[in-house]
Amino acid sequence: MKPMRLKDKVALITGAGNGIGMESALLFAEEGASVIVADIDDEAGQKTVERIRGNGGTADFFRADVSRAADCEEMVAFAESAYGKLNVLFNNAGIMHSHDGDAVSTGEDVFDLTMGINVKGVFLGCKYGIPALKRAGGGSIINVASFVAILGAATPQVAYTASKGAVLSMTRELAVIHARENIRVNAICPGPLRTELLMKFLNTEAKQQRRLVHIPMGRFGEAREIAYGALYLASDESSFTTGTEFLVDGGITAAYVTPE
């Protein structure tokens, strides 16, 4: 039997009720981690916990709105109370609003909501998570950015794109600040995925094809493929990796034109 890559580690994953967060929670548990599934959706979060426990893993659910400081402080405290420490903080929770468009058409409320969850949520996770990682002797923070932090999106989504650029910049700065404290901070940048989040946004065949034409692999990625990237960043295998923009994007950021 192969050794488990996260044996004896405690991982807190936000937005773990669906998509990348759910797949990462399942995978981290398979690899030996005790997982705190944090989500604003009680039903989805509990289902993830049930699946982990059904597979013989260890997990607990904590309801959290990552845009609220009190919720972020309490979810970290819950992790330490339940398992005695925190080794991995995966700031995954995020939204892509259906009314997010260009600067002219996007409402201020949509912009503020997007920044509140996608950027402030990462900031608050780090604000309360970093002291816990220090108490554990160090650890790994993984922030979900996006390929649109590197490239402009073909389909306008200005609030989302701005938020993911902010996540990437924040990740770099935190990585430098905490590098000598045995705390690694990396951003994972997924390409377009076949997740509920993106499919709700690309809600017509024309919108999907407009995105697909830019991906050299010619398909959307799967959430599980991002989870494997996150597993590397969570594990001790990435012990010399910090401040990175870890692109898992089907080649979209490498392409000038796509192959025929």
Residues with catalytic function: 160
Yes or no: say if 7 and 70 are a contact pair by the CB < 8 Å rule.
Answer: no
Question: How far apart, in whole angstroms, are the C-alpha atoms of residue 182 and residue 238?
Answer: 12
Which of helix, strand or coil describes residue 185? strand
The neighbouring-strand residues paired with 143 are 91, 187
Distance, CA of 238 to chain centre: 17
Is the CB of residue 34 less than 8 Å from the CB of residue 59? yes
CA dihedral 96, 76, 181, 84 (to 10 degrees): -140
Pair 203, 189: CB distance under 8 Å: no
Which element (helix H / strand E) includes 139?
Answer: strand 139-144
Distance, CA of 237 to CA of 234 (rounded, Å): 8
Length of the chain: 260
Give the three-class secondary structure for 175.
helix
